[in-house]
Amino acid sequence: MNKDQVKGAVKDAAGKVQQKAGDMVGSREHEAKGLAKQAEGKTQKAVGDAKEAIKDARK
Residue by residue, pLDDT tens for the chain (59 residues) are: 999 999 999 999 999 999 999 999 999 999 999 999 999 999 999 999 999 999 999 98
Segments in the chain forming alpha helices (H): 3-25, 28-58
DSSP state of 22: H
At a CB cut-off of 8 Å and minimum separation 6, what does 8 contact? 41, 42, 43, 44, 45, 46, 47, 48
Q: Give residue 6's pLDDT.
A: 97
Cβ atoms 18, 37 nearer than 8 A: yes
Q: Give, to the nearest 10 degrees, the angle between helix 3-25 and helix 28-58.
A: 160
Q: Domain total for the chain?
A: 1
pTM of the model: 0.88
Provide the domain limits for residue 29: 3-58
